[in-house]
Amino acid sequence: MNLEFKSRLYSLATAILTPVVLFRLAMRGLKAPAYFRRWKERFGIFPNPNFKKAILIHAVSVGEVNAAIPLIKALMEQYSDYDFVITTVTPTGSDRVQQIFSNQVFHLYLPYDLPGAVKRFLKKINPSLAVVMETEIWPNLFRFCKKRNIPIVVANARLSELSLKGYKWVQSLATMAVNNTKFVAAQTQTDAERMIRLGCDADKIYVVGSLKFDIIIEDEILVKGKEIHQHCANNLIWIAASTHQEDEKVVLEAYQYLKKKYPELLLIIVPRHPERFQSTAQACVHLGFNTQLRSKIGLYDIDADVFIVDSMGEMLEFYAASDIAFVGGSIANIGGHNVLEAAVFKLPVLVGPNTHNFAEITQLLHNCNGSRLVKNADDVIISMEELIKNPKTRTYMGNAAFKLVEENRGAVSLTMKLIANVLSNKPLNKDMQARKYVFKNIAEPEENNT
């Protein structure tokens, strides 16, 4: 079966599944009405912006947008004569783009990977470069970029073992897609090796580190964090961020014990998805906690047990206000969320065992003693008691976490060199050549959790 036939078969399957996707979108819209808005963009239907030359950046959701912010700002500074188009898939990603960049960029939802939708989208935008964050591999998008001579750089590329297995049913199309790229800027050697196993040409791959280490924290966020913490000066603040239901169940079970023993402890919960704000609040109230909401009272009062940040785009400010962090998606079998968003604020970090989306970064944080692994409520209680009783331990872990971030910055600069090669035909220097992936014979690994 040749690739052209497989591409047509894939496009047919995508078209057949589109009603299912739209139904799922509608179901999500019942809980998060933003999913009902601007749906025409998902079919490549939007007013033509008539850009003379543009750079396209795709970041699927809020986490990828946050990781892309330093790179986008560097691109906007260096290529100020370009227009910038940022696409996301989720409304939360869209909200974050609007919050950070406002009208400096043109935001769209990425169209579904249907030939007609992708062609309409590319014809109107006609970018000089497409930067795809992490590893969003869309065969038709990559194929039609290639046909229109639009170079693609995959930035901050990561590929978990689980994701790699998920591509097996479209292996040949995924291989074709990644080989339609100009460069792949991989986070780690492991990610590079998995890209090779996916079928990517080794000559395209450079190991540059994670953009997440280059996180930018504005002074305004630090000031707001200090104000939040001083609002009730006697509180010791524990933040549970980017949480899912399974994370919150364990955290709240531990907090029932901890709050009785340490009444000064305040728990701040930042659910990962806005459609869960209400159910999180109900779970806290059901357990008897005095539960207060960001949307209702602004800031917690002295009687609060649990404060829920039921708003978007404020997580970093509440990290800045906190003393201890738990990073969600890690007890829930989601694959973890970005622990560096806590580490950059010098917070000791608690994280669960399910971190395959951030395996290397989480392991680095464990290795430097910036974090503790917690698997259940008993583990959380043990670690929290140690941190509550020992301010010096909190400081030591927080400083170790922050040092890890500082020592690993630089991925933005290296990725910019790859992009400069594409846009300005500048040769890659010896520093970049040293980061080129060196092909070696890679055996299929045994089953593992990474």
Would you please indicate which residues are annotated as catalytic (active-site) residues?
64
Q: Does the CA dihedral 274-276-282-288 come out positive or negative?
A: negative
Burial tier of 243 (Cβ tally within 10 Å: 0-12, 13-18, 19+): buried
Extract the tokens encoding 271: 């659910």
17: Cα within 13 Å, side-chain hemisphere:
10
Tokens of 102: 């406002």
d(CA 103, CA 392) in angstroms, rounded, equals 45
Over the Cα atoms of the chain, what is R_g? 22
- Is the Cβ–Cβ distance between 92 and 40 less than 8 Å? no
Say how many C-beta atoms besides its own lie within 10 A of residue 427's C-beta.
9
Give me the residues paired with residue 373 across strands.
Answer: 351
Q: Identify how many contiguous H helices and E strands the chain contains and give both numbers.
A: 19, 14
The contacts of residue 200 (CB under 8 Å, 6+ apart) are 175, 178, 179, 181, 184
CB atoms within 10 A of CB 184: 29
Cα 263 to Cα 248: distance, rounded to the nearest angstrom: 19
Helix (H) or strand (E) holding 264: none
Give the whole-angstrom CA distance, residue 130 versus residue 85.
9
Q: Which residues pair with 372 in a beta bridge?
A: 350
Is residue 318 within 8 Å of residue 225, measured between CB atoms? yes
Query: Which residue(s) pair with 87 in the sheet?
Result: 58, 108
User: In this structure, what DSSP letter does residue 344 have?
Assistant: T
In the chain, the N- to C-terminal Cα span, in Å, equals: 32
